[in-house]
Structure 1
């Protein structure tokens, strides 16, 4: 079996790590295509190095651009690659422009497509990621769902026959790296200057367009973070840095200490060192849940509803409207005491994915 994995952004590289390891233990041919959607070394190269992922077999070098420009560039560059490789499966990950472009390129060539992390829904149609994941699910042949909730969403959309509960591969890699960090196998994370890992601090990330593109909203969110009574280690995504500079907003103010994005092991170590997380990242919400750190998500909804249902995650769409005392109390709240269970699986999802793809009899609906 020949499988092409199409990845391009940090969360996809994290998911790729356990998948690549699972394929390495088989006789299957696994070809990695990196679109270059995240071209910043902090968001790409360090993940290949730090997670032991084989170097990409193909690098498309797409880079940044508008959604249409980026998606079109990936499509244009992928077509000759898929035509040459003729894989048995094209495996796409998550909900980025690389995801939908990879799926569209493959199905138009009548190549079977498997979608890892299928069935997630925020029901927020303002999010580009929501359209990417819905469209990918509806054109893919095999839907590898991470949770029971995702399976329910796929059933509601009439996709049950193509859906299989595989578990969440993020659990595989997160728990593996957590154990290595706790065993002292990784160096201490490079936290922003002014953050003392021996004292309480919050770890924060911010990058979604809804939070960064409007100058007034971004300034208000930064102000809310700056007002907190504990230090905030803000790992500044390139998008955030660019938008803040464009809007004339100073990120390092009040409680905020600014640092660079971290390699995955460094991020896991930083979450473990923190007393809590503030973010708008889907991946970090779940990682914090797995690492047992309370999270406050600056969004009105989340795809990872299990993190909210168990009390580990709280949604705060407008922190600047809460009042400083309520906002501070929310982000510094105590951890839940109830057992959260294992809603994302047992850490063997990547093995499940390989087995399901080996055994899948549905074939390509486009063949």
Structure 2
């Protein structure tokens, strides 16, 4: 029998960030754990930076699966993850979010009858055209523990018939990370000086989702809308561009508007610094919607829906699609409304609650949370 109480499966940079507090909590409690990195995001240099900055140990298993079709990538992960589970026999498997890594870890765990916990459970965009929506729904219905970031997420699960004794509202581990690293980012990051940026005098753009950047008309419209607002407001826009998006710019022969400056993808501390000092964030990322909300930075979401409705409910986020007029209107409204909202994602102790609930290591006294 293995000494591994918890096996944590991750494969993308957002998963590293959101599971870092759980790894830290295992370390603090002396819990036997292992980390499986599937290699879904396969930039070795950037991954190494993330683990280094967050002071995390090197993953115990690096599967290096890399790219491929959704089915091929997921199938390769299932095979390799199953081998790890058979060897380690963990008491609990933890996955986070909605990636192919999450789906593969969930299937492998359920087929071996491992106890499975899904961190950030219950999110719904209600758009089955998004691969992430299918992944998160399947992971939720396979899991034994559903760790919801908010009460709304828990309600969605109850409405789908998930047994209530599997559902717990813990808060979101991204709050743990943002609170834990915000001051360090302010102290150590040089990203503003390196890019000639002044706090509160620029906008941050992220756009990488396939439904946006793989569609020439949508991508062009998105960029035109952001650039139009930049020209109107006099604010510069900095765009840490995802490799997929850069490839599409070249493939579609899209001329990037002069108001938008691209930079390389950023490590966690630098990106956190950009988010916290931007006047406004434009994004199609679910995680960035959360982080901007926690940091008090207004957000405009360049999608037709969101699985983070809490950010809209508290007034931190506007979901506008990719039409230029709608983007500009949403940005104006976001800036006019101010930043006096309450963070809906918890108090920064989600990781402790998760380990308390799965019953590994000494329990803490953090208690429950209302999202």
- TM-score, structure 2 normalization: 0.90
Contact 1:192–1:257 (Cα < 8 Å) also in 2: no
Contact 2:150–2:344 (Cα < 8 Å) also in 1: yes
Deviation at 1:333, TM superposition (A): 3.7
Q: Secondary structure at the match of 2:14?
A: helix
**Inter-CA distance 79–190: structure 2 relative to 1 (3 Å threshold):** farther
Residue aligning to 2:219: 218
Alignment of 1:171-190 (within 5 A): 171-182=175-186, 184=187, 186-189=188-191
Contact 2:40–2:65 (Cα < 8 Å) also in 1: yes
For the residues of structure 2 that align with 1:161 and 1:40, how far apart are their CA atoms?
A: 39
For the residues of structure 2 that align with 1:40 and 1:263, how far apart are their CA atoms?
A: 12
**Inter-CA distance 192–237: structure 2 relative to 1 (3 Å threshold):** farther
Range that drifts further, 21-30 or 276-285: 21-30
Q: Secondary structure at the match of 2:191?
A: coil
**Inter-CA distance 167–73: structure 2 relative to 1 (3 Å threshold):** same
Q: Give the 4+ runs in structure 1 shifted more than 6 A.
A: none
Residue aligning to 1:201: 202
Contact 2:225–2:322 (Cα < 8 Å) also in 1: no
Deviation at 1:174, TM superposition (A): 0.3
Deviation at 1:296, TM superposition (A): 0.3
**Inter-CA distance 328–14: structure 2 relative to 1 (3 Å threshold):** closer
Residue from 148, 151, 158 that aligns with 2:151:
148
Contact 2:311–2:344 (Cα < 8 Å) also in 1: no
For the residues of structure 2 that align with 1:42 and 1:313, how far apart are their CA atoms?
A: 32
Contact 1:42–1:263 (Cα < 8 Å) also in 2: no
**Inter-CA distance 40–333: structure 2 relative to 1 (3 Å threshold):** farther
Deviation at 1:121, TM superposition (A): 0.7
Residue 239 of structure 2 corresponds to residue 234 of structure 1: yes
Contact 1:146–1:166 (Cα < 8 Å) also in 2: yes
Q: Secondary structure at the match of 2:20?
A: helix
Alignment of 1:162-173 (within 5 A): 162-173=166-177
Structure 1: gaps (5+ residues): 361-367
Alignment of 1:6-45 (within 5 A): 6-41=9-44, 43-45=46-48
Count of aligned pairs:
353
Contact 1:137–1:143 (Cα < 8 Å) also in 2: yes
**Inter-CA distance 63–166: structure 2 relative to 1 (3 Å threshold):** same
Range that drifts further, 19-28 or 327-336: 327-336
Residue from 273, 279, 283 that aligns with 2:287:
283
Residue aligning to 2:350: 349
Contact 2:318–2:330 (Cα < 8 Å) also in 1: no
- TM-score, structure 1 normalization: 0.91
**Inter-CA distance 323–190: structure 2 relative to 1 (3 Å threshold):** closer
For the residues of structure 2 that align with 1:36 and 1:152, how far apart are their CA atoms?
A: 33
Deviation at 1:41, TM superposition (A): 4.0
Residue aligning to 1:363: none
Structure 2: gaps (5+ residues): 362-371
Residue aligning to 1:121: 124
Residue from 91, 95, 101 that aligns with 1:92:
95
Per-residue CA deviation, residues 189-238 of structure 1 (Å, 9 max, x unaligned), is 26774x42256110010011111111111112122222222211001011
Contact 2:320–2:327 (Cα < 8 Å) also in 1: no
Contact 2:304–2:320 (Cα < 8 Å) also in 1: yes
**Inter-CA distance 292–225: structure 2 relative to 1 (3 Å threshold):** same
For the residues of structure 2 that align with 1:6 and 1:202, how far apart are their CA atoms?
A: 34
Residue from 316, 326, 345 that aligns with 1:312:
316
For the residues of structure 2 that align with 1:358 and 1:199, how far apart are their CA atoms?
A: 44
Contact 1:190–1:262 (Cα < 8 Å) also in 2: no
